[in-house]
Amino acid sequence: MTTILKALQVPRVSEDFIIVVLGSLAMTNSETSATQSLVTEPLNVDDKCDVRWRDGDQSLRAKVIERRPLNYRKRKGKRKASKAVDNLKPDEIEYYIHYENHDRRLDEWVTLDKFLLETLERAQPEPEESLDDSRRLRRRSAAQMSTQHNSSNGESEASAMLSGGNWRGGSGDPTFAELEREHEETTKVKNIEKIFMGGWEVECWYFSPYPDEYSEAETLYVCEFCLKYMRKKKTYLKHRAECPERHPPGREIYRELGLSVFEVDGKENRVYCQNLCLLAKLFLDHKTLYYDVDPFYFYIICQVDDSGAHIVGYFSKEKVSAEEYNLACILTFPQYQKHGYGKFIISLSYELSKREEKTGSPEKPLSDLGKISYRSYWTHVLLNLLSRHDPRKDITIKDISMQTGIKAEDIISTLQYLDMIKCWKGQHVVFVNQELIDDYMKQK
């Protein structure tokens, strides 16, 4: 009996230990209470918080850009429901977030369970004037885009805002600064989540100004031959069975090993080129050419098989460029990236320049992916040329430019990137690093 009682005795614990444990428990309860109090009200636009990245293995700092009711697309009276979002519980709302220090292509809609609420940083309320300005900019810019689309309807009109393939911000001109603000406000939330084209379902990256009745669609169906877009799958299947087109319009200027290139005049094939620009905008952030396609040629790169010529990418080029740009916009669709098409497209643009006996350069600014592609191409061309050059003979930047079609400033920037320009006797000279060239050629 004594033995049993001894076994049931509770070990003596110091008072200090008990105080620590109780304090710890009190802190935990306090933290839990604080966390719960954070979610009694919905998160607001401009609030910041850590968010679990898609696979859940890491978290990234993000900013709330927009809000909408959960299952937004399935609700009736969508526009009415979006106005009442403040009356919903926090977990009945979807939040559109931008990951800080990351490209906007990663922006997405997430639910409350993705937020690490203990890191929530509430935004300070904006003055009513700022909110009114923001709403005004969005309404005005959206109305402008809608008017441009309706006025075009296959008959394009020129517009100062749409004069060129890429957005040219930072000029210091107040007019362009206002347009830049409008552009940023209107395009901050991607309106179409996915496209289905040529058997591929592709997640979209950016906003594109499709007409309102199409921009509300979660998935947009696109014919890969004529680029007509549809909201419903059954409409798409019917169109695909009846569409007579099996390749882009225009003339075929290149074909080799199942790869074809078609040159399409924007003036002669407006509707196709406008549809192409709208489609491309889903994957290009700073593209502003949507409807004014007349001054451009479009070069469509296709994979060819027995069923037709399937578009994999394109580039556009101004018919007359005062700045001697040989490329305005370039895109390889996401499902075909990392297959060498980007380098082929860039090479093609320079081959066309050489045929015209000119040097060329892409329109600036380049996107982040565009910079990577061009830097890779310029490095490839220059190191290959220098590897074949007789070191006993002098070669100038001008000589390299004439041989490659690459403008002198792009050659210099690439050589600087490769650390191959040195100062010698007060002059800048090209220092050919043979070891660097040999290492590069071995990797090929």
The residues carrying an active-site annotation are: 363
CA torsion angle for 298, 301, 305, 308 (degrees, to 10)?
A: -20
Name the token pair of 48.
């910041």
Q: What secondary structure letter does DSSP report for 319?
A: S
Cβ pair 87, 109 in contact under 8 A: no
From start to end of 204-348, where are the E strands? Answer: 219-222, 229-230, 251-256, 259-265, 296-305, 308-318, 325-327, 329-332
CA torsion angle for 320, 247, 282, 164 (degrees, to 10)?
A: 10
Q: What value, to the nearest 5°, has the Cα angle with vertex 334 and ends 328 and 335?
A: 135
Q: How far apart are the C-alpha atoms of 148 and 30, rounded to whole Å? A: 56
Q: How far apart are the C-alpha atoms of 29 and 43, rounded to whole Å? A: 23
Q: How far apart are the C-alpha atoms of 444 and 441, rounded to whole Å? A: 5
Q: How far apart are the C-alpha atoms of 293 and 291, rounded to whole Å? A: 6
Residue type, 29: N
Question: DSSP letters of 172-229?
Answer: --HHHHHHHHHHHHHTSS-S--EEEETTEEEE--S-----HHHHT-SEEEE-TTT--E
Q: Which residue has 């607001």 as its token pair?
A: 44
Q: How far apart are the C-alpha atoms of 143 and 185, rounded to whole Å? A: 13
CA torsion angle for 201, 205, 207, 208 (degrees, to 10)?
A: -50
What is the Rg, in whole angstroms, of the alpha carbon atoms belonging to the chain? 29
Q: How far apart are the C-alpha atoms of 56 and 329, rounded to whole Å? A: 35
User: Would strands 325-327 and 361-362 be described as parallel, antiparallel, or unpaired?
Assistant: parallel
Q: What secondary structure letter does DSSP report for 237?
A: H
For 416, phi and psi rounded to 5 degrees? -65, -40
For 271, phi and psi rounded to 5 degrees? -60, -45
